[in-house]
Amino acid sequence: MTAGPGIAPAACEASPAQGAVLREHGQRAVFCGLTGIVWLHRKIQDAFFLVVGSRTCAHLLQSAAGVMIFAEPRFATAIIEDRDLAGLADANAELDRIVNQLLARRPEIRMLFLVGSCPSEVIKLDLSRAALRLTAAHSGRVRVVSYSGSGIETTFTQGEDACLAALVPLLPAEPAGAPRSLLVVGSLADVVEGQLKRLLEDMGIGPVHFLPARGMHELPPVGPNTSFLLAQPFLTETARALEGRGARRLTALFPFGSEGTTEWLRAAATAFNVSPDVFRKAVEAPQARARAALEPHRFRLAGKRVFFFPDSQLEVPLARFLARELNMQPVEVGTPYLNRQILAQELALLPTGTRLSEGQDVDKQLDRCRAERPDLTVCGLGIANPLEAEGLTTKWSIELMFSPIQGYDQAGDLAQLMVRPLVRRERLEV
């Protein structure tokens, strides 16, 4: 979806490490936060996501997730019809009826997310009150939680942030005298989660919990003895909510590539007083595997210029990885929102002079991209096709959210995702 009107001119703001950050508030071409449902519904296995939205929202979800024929999907859209928009029907009564029907038909649902959209915002449907009302009505059977995925309030990955932040108040308090624990925050592919958990446990760090958990009964405890590591860079609200529960955020690079994964693990090791020797023994073999896997890709990518349009908020850590481990040159790194605290270590490692942009004015950014003629442009689906037609080589940023790319054993795959469009372009030109 495209969302957001042009409202203000671009502005520049000083950033000590990187010179000026170009701040833009124009027309955006970014998915809305509903997209996160596509990966979250796979992760939280007893949850159901009910979007309270329009046919457009239903269409977005259906096309982003693909048509599910054989499995009963764990998401749906309660369509707000014209008469609801016109205030002719009681939208709350209608919502209760749909939820009651759904829960009667799907007894396995333990957690129901009511997901707000642009239309539900327009008619000012109070989904947080609806969640309280429906939790009380289905007491003991299902927990109803609400968050917004609307394109007015959220971009692409901010839907996951809103979802996880809504879960934080439901996390049980850690018991008095509980040992220190580590909470890894941000949805990861199961294979990545397993690898990172093993590495942490090999160093004697534990208990290790994950948010999102796989189900209601596995919600991790939280409290002052909880340290948490973000596995994804877009979790500003979730981090704030966890800090509000007394947990402490460990600052680190994000686990992209060999360096990012090592520094992410090192942050946990330092906080849990792991000896340098134990740390080295735990990471040296997978680190060597990651470096070896990157080698052939470095040969193809070194010196290539890469331009990031703002989309997933993964842009800054990815640019750091591509610059430092594959010798690519980031030309412009755009991100929908730049959290300087969470990204402090990442920003410090970007090559000097990398242009950073926050927010978007898509036409101006397209002009800058055309002027730069980068070798590779990482962008949303809507921008990719026109740029390809102009002879630029693109990578869809949504693929980076749907692929397992964190951790040592995925470092080579992440590099390969960047190599593939270049190879495709070379073949086209031969």
Shortest distance (Å) from residue 200 CB to ligand SF4: 36
Beta bridge partners of 211: 185
- Contact segment (CB under 6 A) with ligand SF4 among 49-57, 67-75, 138-146, 189-197 equals 49-57
Q: Does 162 bind ligand SF4 (CB under 6 A)?
A: no
Which position's Cβ is nearest ligand SF4? Answer: 151
Q: Does 392 bind ligand SF4 (CB under 6 A)?
A: no
CA distances from 230 to 115, 157, 172, 196, 276 (A): 23, 14, 19, 13, 22
What distance in Å separates the CA atoms of residue 398 and residue 359, rounded to the nearest whole number? 18
Q: Is 301 exposed, middle or buried (0-12, 13-18, 19+ CB in 10 A)?
A: buried
Q: Which residues have C-beta within 8 Å of that of residue 37, sequence separation ≥ 6? A: 49, 51, 61, 65, 75, 115, 149, 159
Residue 342 sits at φ, ψ, to 5 deg, of -65, -30
Shortest distance (Å) from residue 309 CB to ligand SF4: 17
Closer residue to ligand SF4 (CB): 26 or 151: 151
Q: Does 3 bind ligand SF4 (CB under 6 A)?
A: yes
Among 4, 44, 54, 161, binds ligand SF4 (CB under 6 A): 54
Q: Does 56 bind ligand SF4 (CB under 6 A)?
A: yes
Q: Does 282 bind ligand SF4 (CB under 6 A)?
A: no
Closer residue to ligand SF4 (CB): 151 or 380: 151
Shortest distance (Å) from residue 55 CB to ligand SF4: 9
What distance in Å separates the CA atoms of residue 327 and residue 293, rounded to the nearest whole number? 15
Shortest distance (Å) from residue 127 CB to ligand SF4: 13
Footprint (CB under 6 A) of ligand SF4, residues 102-131 = 117-118
Closer residue to ligand SF4 (CB): 64 or 278: 64
Residue 70 structure tokens: 């054989």
Among 21, 34, 211, 369, binds ligand SF4 (CB under 6 A): 34
What distance in Å separates the CA atoms of residue 274 and residue 283, rounded to the nearest whole number? 12
The SS3 call for residue 426 is helix
- Contact segment (CB under 6 A) with ligand SF4 among 55-63, 183-191, 267-275, 295-303 equals 55-63
Q: Does 312 bind ligand SF4 (CB under 6 A)?
A: no
Q: Does 1 bind ligand SF4 (CB under 6 A)?
A: yes
Among 21, 22, 30, 32, binds ligand SF4 (CB under 6 A): 32
The SS3 call for residue 120 is helix
- Contact segment (CB under 6 A) with ligand SF4 among 54-62, 277-285, 386-394, 397-405 equals 54-62
In SS3 terms, 351-405 reads as: CCCCEEEEEECHHHHHHHHHHHCCCEEEECHHHHHHHHHCCCCEEEHHHHHHCCC
- Is the Cβ–Cβ distance between 259 and 321 less than 8 Å? yes
- Contact segment (CB under 6 A) with ligand SF4 among 53-61, 235-243, 282-290, 350-358 equals 53-61
Instruction: Report how many residues bind ligand SF4 under the rule CB under 6 A.
Output: 13
- Is the Cβ–Cβ distance between 398 and 31 less than 8 Å? yes
Residue 108: CA count within 13 A, CB half-sphere: 9
Closer residue to ligand SF4 (CB): 228 or 309: 309
Shortest distance (Å) from residue 106 CB to ligand SF4: 23
From edge to edge, which strands make up the β-sheet containing 47-53? 75-79, 47-53, 111-116, 143-148
Shortest distance (Å) from residue 81 CB to ligand SF4: 14
What distance in Å separates the CA atoms of residue 186 and residue 171, rounded to the nearest whole number? 15
Shortest distance (Å) from residue 54 CB to ligand SF4: 6
- Contact segment (CB under 6 A) with ligand SF4 among 36-44, 50-58, 174-182, 303-311 equals 50-58
Q: Which residues have C-beta within 8 Å of that of residue 2, sequence separation ≥ 6? A: 27, 28, 29, 30, 382
Among 151, 260, 317, 334, binds ligand SF4 (CB under 6 A): 151
Q: Is 65 exposed, middle or buried (0-12, 13-18, 19+ CB in 10 A)?
A: middle
- Residues of this chain that bind ligand SF4 (CB under 6 A): 1, 3, 32, 34, 53-54, 56-57, 60, 117-118, 150-151
